[in-house]
Amino acid sequence: MNHYQKLELKDRLEKLLGKSIDLDAGNQLFNYHRQWNDTSIRLDREHIKIHPLCLLQTQSDYDNHQSMLKFLYQQLELGFNAKWLISFHLKHPSEKFRNVPEMYQVKGQMPRTRWGRKLIRDGMNNPQSSLWDECAYYNYYDKRRNDDFYTEEDNRQIKNLMLKYLYGIQRLNQTWRSNFPKNMLFIKEKGKVKLQYHIHLILPDVRDTLNTKFQILNVLNSNRNKARCLSSFKSIDVKEIDEPKKTLSYLNKETKGTHCSLDFSNSILLTK
């Protein structure tokens, strides 16, 4: 339809409807969404099925997601026997706060007591003073829990904990030991709430004395206070992996053009 045909159609519709119309009204909305979403995504020739919960909006999102998914599947082809999926949460600054009474007074009225949130420090009482001085502590750890670098730094503590209690290895540099795991994958995820990172860890078989889900849960949850970065409110969860490819596809769902879910600095990867 050329410009003159478009004007003719507009005149006919205005006569039928009895009011003026704008045929270009939807173009602005279309152009606005188009700047954030590619109109079409070109699939790779070796396309791997994407998890239903994964949302990819641009070509770069698709390319990075597929590349990482192929890399994870390659780990399985190289001999990684994914046996256990361990999920844990990092400590949020709100866990160290408790409800405490605070005195306040409006000019010309009697003093009143309200409940606020204040940091509990070891060996210290909680004076009924202002709560605003705790914001710096909260903001520091809230930012830390959403930073990739600091999350990977905390994952190193988790790695040490897993090697010690699941494999009997005391130090990270004891790679020469026969029971040192040949492969280990750390996956960072924010989930639906997007509040902070929580971690999924994929492990092969652990030592023979821990051959059931209940035994692994008992060992990890009873020793999680050994890693200060672990949440004291949320317990560690353990699941046995039946279908490794489906598990990896699910854990890779947040990998996009600007974010990679795999923690390369702490994962133990297989090479050809």
Report the pLDDT value the prediction gives residue 35, as an integer from 0 to 100: 57
- Give the whole-angstrom CA distance, residue 102 versus residue 113: 6
pLDDT tens across 22-63, in order?
776 656 665 665 555 556 788 889 999 998 888 888 888 999
Report the pLDDT value the prediction gives residue 202, as an integer from 0 to 100: 95
- DSSP-derived letter for residue 189 is E
Neighbours of 189 (CB within 10 A): 16
Share of the chain above pLDDT 90, in %: 33
Contact 231, 89 (CB under 8 A): yes
Take residue 180 and report the two structure tokens written for it.
């040192």
Sketch the domain layout of the chain as residue ranges: 59-92+147-251, 93-141
255 torsion bin: left (phi>0), alpha (psi -120 to 50), beta (else): beta
pLDDT tens across 185-213, in order?
999 998 877 778 899 999 999 988 887 88
Confidence label for 121 from pLDDT (cuts 50, 70 and 90): low
Global pTM value: 0.73
- Give the whole-angstrom CA distance, residue 224 versus residue 19: 70
Q: Which residue has the tokens 């590619």?
A: 38
Collapsed DSSP state (helix, strand, coil) of residue 74: helix
Containing 142, the helix (H) or strand (E) segment is helix 135-144
Contact residues for 144 (Cβ-Cβ < 8 A; gap 6+): 150
Report the pLDDT value the prediction gives residue 70, as an integer from 0 to 100: 94
Per CATH, which fold does 59-92+147-251 belong to? Alpha-Beta Plaits (3.30.70)
Whether the pLDDT of residue 160 is over 80: the answer is: yes
Whether the pLDDT of residue 130 is over 50: the answer is: no
